[in-house]
Amino acid sequence: MIWQTILMWLVGISSGLMVSAGVFTVLFVVGLIPRFAGRTDTAWCEFFYEECLVFGAITADIISVYPIKGSIGGLMTHVSFSEMITTALLILIGVFAGIFVGCLSIALAEVLDGIPIFARRIHLKMGVSIAVLAVALGKITGSLYYFMNEFFEGI
């Protein structure tokens, strides 16, 4: 029993590290942060953007492991202090999640712009659209398999 727990822990940590490394690799190799800072004329706080991205990812990871319990709603007239902090944290997390999704969509657009460059460098004349379609179909198939077998119920 203890070995099964240790194995599950190792697989979970390893999988999380691989996924986060992949996401951060896409974000930093594509040069998302410098482009974002360049477009907003705020190159002086590029380091701050990178730190916010890392802080948001770490915060989301911690909250996904240790969920915040509490209620949201009402006018907060007869609400305890801990519930007000919970609501404020959820609002802050929502802002971080929105920033992350926006930056991730920009990174996805940058990656899609890089596909033709990659195809030229490896001298691929035909089949780029088939490769992109194969990746999209693989993502769709994986998502359907995940949701149809209700793997999310155990989370």
Question: Do 104 and 135 lie in a common domain?
Answer: no
The 10s digit of each residue's pLDDT in 12-48 is: 778 777 777 777 777 777 677 787 788 788 888 888 8
Residues 30 and 65 in one domain: yes
pTM of the model: 0.44
pLDDT, position 38:
80
In terms of residue numbers, what domain contains 135?
125-155
Q: How many domains does the chain have?
A: 2
What CA–CA distance (Å, rounded) separates 1 from 7?
10
pLDDT in the model for residue 78: 58
Query: Is 120 a domain residue?
Result: no
At 10 the pLDDT is: 85
Mean pLDDT by groups of 10 residues along the chain of 155 residues = 85 77 72 77 85 78 66 55 72 83 73 74 78 83 85 68
What is residue 68's predicted lDDT score, i.e. its pLDDT? Answer: 59
Residue 134 resides in a domain = yes
Helix, strand counts (H, E) of the chain: 5, 0
Q: How many CA atoms lie within 13 A of 79 on its CB side?
A: 16
* Alpha-carbon dihedral sign for residues 70, 72, 77, 78: negative
Domain check: are 25 and 90 in the same one?
Answer: yes
Longest CA–CA span in the chain (Å) reads: 67
- Confidence (pLDDT) at 69: 60
Rounded distance between C-alpha atoms, residue 57 and residue 20, angstroms: 9
Q: Indicate whether 91 and 31 sit together in one domain.
A: yes
Give the C-alpha separation, 39 to 109, whole Å.
15
Domain match, 66 and 97 both: yes
In a domain, residue 133? The reply is yes
CA atoms of 77 and 45, how far apart (whole Å)? 39
Q: Any alpha helices (H) in the chain, and if so which ranges?
A: 2-29, 32-39, 46-65, 81-121, 128-148
